[in-house]
Structure 1
Amino acid sequence: MPDDVHPQIQAIIDRTVELGIPKVQSISTQAARTLVEKMAAARREDYPPPDVLKVENTSTGPGYGHVPVRIYRTTAEERAPVIVFYHGGGHVFGSLETHDTAARFLARTTGCTLVSVDYRMGPEHPFPAAVEDAYDAAHWVADHADALRIDPARLAVCGDSAGGNLAAVVALMARDNAAFAISAQVLIYPVIDYRGGTPTYARYGKGYGILEADTVSWFMERYLPDPELRGDWRATPHNAASHADLPPALILTAECDVLREEGRDYAAQLKAADVSVEHVEFRGMIHGFFGYLGLVDDAERAHEISARFLESVWR
């Protein structure tokens, strides 16, 4: 068993082994989706989602892909700051439900309106379907600022894991298309390059929670079945022609995570392009800890750091 993880994380790993929860890469796509939904539901029973002022399910409508979204309001303010949030799950599983608690907590902690995006996923809808939905959703939020009662000048994109990948890509697309402005990006242990190969794949590739090196390959086969597309910058934001003129970024990484190195590298890449970057690494944490609210103290701390970062950018 790992000896370098935080005791609160070790307890989660031990419980997973005790319950005999299978590795994602050992089961079918549908079985993995069912498993993740059941695990999220069980977690909600132990840690009930926090209340917010209002929750609304809707979609982006014509011209913006008809993407399902869930809007969390924490304030009656007419022009509230807004976070467009993309859930993780390797672009294969995860949903508005699996990330409902995290979305509520982040909305409450930041005082923002939060729009959680239910983008299409592989293998039924491989790359670039998720990218298209992610961009359309952010564009819709910006274009409907008055109706949504949000301030388009305080629009941030945020996501964990695969969602962090989408947030980073949407920030690049918004810069290039100049159709709307993104003021900040919060990337939580983001996928920057599915092809892997960093030292942390060998160090933390097995036995450190839900995401193993083989799990990333399992995701890639479903989201990016065409090997020729795996280096496309919309899948691998590391490969964008330029990272200049991007919005300020907060990048959160977990020490015991196969994705740690690429998160660190992306922070360095943005800094080299003169982008304002704050990088925080959480010692002893594993991939997915951002959602372990009520179980891991650093989960709540990660939400609070995100709130402070956004406040500093918008101030």
Structure 2
Amino acid sequence: MPVHPEIKKILDFIPQSDSKPKIIPEEHRKMFNAPVLPVEKRVQVHAVEERTVPTSEADILVRIYTPKEADSYPLLMYFHGGAFFTGNLESHDEVVRPICKESGYKVISIDYRLAPEHPYPAALVDCYHVTKWATEHKDELKWDGKNLAIAGDSSGGNLVAAVSLMARDKKEFTITKQVLYYPSLDLDFSEFRYPSLVENGKGYFVESDQLAEHNSFYLLGNVDTDHPLVSPIREENLEHLPAALVITAEYDPFRDEGELFAENLKKCGVQVETKRYEGATWLLRKVYPS
């Protein structure tokens, strides 16, 4: 189907140019990290608080969203997107609030360290350690001790898949659900091996010829893009991973790798639900928040 009219309005507003300026992380962050709505116009939840989680690597700021007053809650850890070098608690506040309210989960959004100041594996290590911290503070968080979900969009979906692999192999805690929103699961852009990278590579906000540069900040130091914790789609053994919900967009360059990953999970016996939003681009969350 055609691009959703609300998304087309946004795409038409974005100036088009054949010349692509060099990406400067600090400048990109000013644009990407700015919220759209003032706090009073965002979805309201019972409580929102920030705190610092100490880990062996760094002190990580988190924002904790509580849907309602209750004796216990299922828990969801949220890993924001932004190509590993942008995004923060504020950029995704409007995303996390409706997830919290509609799901009934207590949600912990993680302000993991960003590249290039902190390249791979900093973001992955932070997300894993904060998730582990949450399971070790069951009483304080009023976690029900049974339901532990992790979710993330774009590069955050990459982190969801990688943390799921780490948790399975380390066996320090058990993740029960993983939710991947239009995930970027293959960080080797030396060739466009997925048709959607070609079909949707230009004119839909995220452009395929910029992906290598975007991810280069995370991949400093000759990182092996074939490693499953870098490119989770390269993992051959996907058995015993948590049930998954994989959400893709029709006009997103990442569409095919997300859907292939879902099929690979199914082949390994993992319970998977896949939802493709027709007419949507990477700007999916602007029209279909949560």
The residue number in structure 2 matching 1:13 is 11
Q: Secondary structure at the match of 1:57?
A: strand
Say if 2:269 is the partner of 1:274. yes
Q: Which amino acid aligns with 2:238?
A: H
Q: Equivalent residue for 1:313?
A: none
Aligned residues: 287
What's the CA shift for 1:176? 0.6
3-state SS of paired residue (1:249): strand
Equivalent of residue 224 in structure 1, options 199, 216, 219: 219
- Equivalent position SS for 1:96: coil
1:200 matches 2:196? yes
> 1:133 aligned to 2:126?
yes
1:234 maps to which of 229, 232, 250: 229
1:64 & 1:71 partners in 2: Cα distance?
21
Q: Which of 182, 186, 198 is equivalent to 1:189?
A: 182
CA deviation map 1:65-86 (0-9, x unaligned):
4221110011221220111000
* Whole-Å separation in 2 of the counterparts to 1:257 and 1:89: 15
Which residues of structure 1 form unaligned runs of 5+?
304-315
User: Alpha-carbon deviation of 1:109?
Assistant: 1.0
Judging changes above 3 Å, is the alpha-carbon distance between structure 1 residues 231 and 174 closer, same or farther for their aligned structure 2 residues? same
Q: Residues of 2 paired with 1:143 and 1:113: CA distance?
A: 15
Which whole-Å CA distance do the structure 1 matches of 2:150 and 2:19 have between them? Answer: 30
Q: How do 1:286-297 and structure 2 match up within 5 A?
A: 286-290=281-285, 292=286, 296=287
Match of 2:252 in 1: 257
Is the 8 Å Cα contact of residues 249 and 275 (structure 1) preserved in structure 2? yes
SS of structure 1 residue aligned to 2:88: coil
Residues 1:169 and 2:162 aligned together: yes
Deviations along 1:229-254, one digit per CA (max 9) or x if unpaired, are 22211111112241000010000000
- Aligned Cα root-mean-square deviation (Å): 2.1
Q: Give distance in 2, aligned partners of 1:240 and 1:52.
A: 38
Distance in 2 between the 1:133 and 1:151 partners?
A: 23
Amino acid at match of 2:268: A
Alignment of 1:108-119 (within 5 A): 108-119=101-112
Task: Indicate the residue corresponding to 2:88 in structure 1.
Answer: 95
Q: Secondary structure at the match of 1:77?
A: coil
8 Å CA contact 1:24–1:32 kept in 2: the answer is no
Partner Cα distance (2:277, 2:257) in 1: 15
The correspondence for 1:36, drawn from 18, 32, 35, is: 32
- Structure-1 separation of matches of 2:176 and 2:38: 35
Match for residue 279 of structure 2 among 276, 284, 288: 284
Counterpart CA distance in 1 for 2:279 and 2:132 is: 37
Q: Residue in 1 aligned with 2:142? A: 149
> Which letter maps to 1:172?
L
CA distance in 2, matches of 1:34, 1:263: 28
Residues 65 and 136, structure 1, Cα contact 8 Å, conserved in 2? no
Alpha-carbon deviations, 1:59-114, whole Å to 9, x = none? 22244742211100112212201110000000010110000011111101111110
Instruction: Give 1:25 deviation, angstroms.
Output: 5.8
Q: Kindly indicate whether the alpha-carbon contact (under 8 Å) linking 2:187 and 2:225 is maintained by their aligned counterparts in 1.
A: yes
Aligned partner letter, 1:67: I
Name the stretch that deviates more: 145-154 or 221-230: 221-230
Q: What secondary structure, in the 3-state scheme, does the structure 2 residue paired with 1:285 have?
A: coil
Structure 2: state its 5+ residue gaps. none
Report the AA paired with residue 239 of structure 2: A
Q: What corresponds to 1:158 in structure 2?
A: 151
Q: Secondary structure at the match of 1:70?
A: strand
CA distance in 1, matches of 2:64, 2:70: 14
More helix by share: 1
Please tell me whether the aligned partners of residues 46 and 66 of structure 2 are also in contact (alpha carbons under 8 angstroms).
yes
Contact 2:241/2:270 (<8 A) preserved? yes
Matches within 5 A, 1:54-93: 54-63=47-56, 65-93=58-86
> 1:310 maps to what in 2?
none
Identity of aligned residues (%): 34
- Distance in 2 (alpha carbons) for counterparts of 1:288 and 1:54: 28
